[in-house]
Structure 1
Amino acid sequence: ALTRVLAYSKLQGKPITTELTADALKDIIQVTKTKKITIQDIQKVVGEYYGVRIEDFVAKKRTKSIAYPRQIAMYLSRELTDFSLPKIGEEFGGRDHTTVIHAHDKIKKDIENDPTLRQEIESLEKDIRS
């Protein structure tokens, strides 16, 4: 690649710049667009993983089988998106921003103490990003 950039610079009679390098390597390097992650993407992936319907994430139900995956989805929403705490809460059935903070802090602490959960979260992050 370096040889190609040097040769391209010499042929063009121009100094090596970022633009020249990109132009010289454009057929070698394929730029991939990063997918913008949405809260709905996170809810879908987490819901599929834990067997929870998206409707349950926004419902007022507080059973552990729904509440814990909801907290994980809130944690991931805060970690993987730039949405505000009130917006994240809104996407989870109009929950208060303090509920999102509690969910984030709880899951963060659980990840530190549970290697299995850490692996689950890493797997979920990978699925969400793909």
Structure 2
Amino acid sequence: MNKLKHIANIIGEEYGIPPSDYFMETRKREFTEPRQVFYYIARETTGFSFSRLADFAASFGRSKPHSHCTVLHSVKLVEGAIAIYPEYRHRVFNLITKTKDFRSIIPDHIDLIHLTITGGNV
């Protein structure tokens, strides 16, 4: 769980919101986006199951864990946004570099040489 707390803290720093806030029981966009990015990065960098990631929210004071469906939905939303929005992709990949070597999770359709030359801007 230390790896998950590390990821949660990095996301919190990036968005200026402590993990205890973005794991709250709310659907406000200011909290859902960092929570979705957390679930995406945590899933991609740890390989933990959706259920295990869903249970993690309780460690930050959430009264009940998210369902595994919430985590799956979050991961799919972030994957979709990464495919469409270059700025969002860059932001997420920068966060990943703070937690792990990001080359292991870049989708095959992204040219690694282009990423290296442009400093991550695709």
Conserved in 2, the CA contact under 8 Å of 1:45 and 1:124?
yes
Identity %: 25
CA deviations over 1:66-117 (Å, ceiling 9, x no partner): 1111000001111100211111001124100000000000000000000001
Q: Give the alignment partner of residue 51 of structure 1, picking from 6, 11, 16.
A: 16
Higher Cα radius of gyration: 1
Conserved in 1, the CA contact under 8 Å of 2:10 and 2:98?
yes
CA–CA distance in 1 between the matches of 2:6 and 2:88? Answer: 20
Conserved in 2, the CA contact under 8 Å of 1:37 and 1:128?
no
Q: Structure 1 unaligned segments of length 5 or more: list them.
A: 1-35
TM-score (norm 2): 0.72
Amino acid of the structure 1 residue aligned with 2:18:
R
CA–CA distance in 1 between the matches of 2:23 and 2:29? Answer: 14
CA–CA distance in 1 between the matches of 2:57 and 2:2? Answer: 16
CA–CA distance in 1 between the matches of 2:57 and 2:74? Answer: 12
Runs of 4+ aligned structure 1 residues displaced above 4 Å come to none
Aligned length: 95
CA–CA distance in 1 between the matches of 2:42 and 2:57? Answer: 10
Counterpart of 1:38 in 2: which secondary structure? helix
Match in the other structure for 2:82: 111
Give the CA deviation at 1:129: 2.6
TM-score (norm 1): 0.68
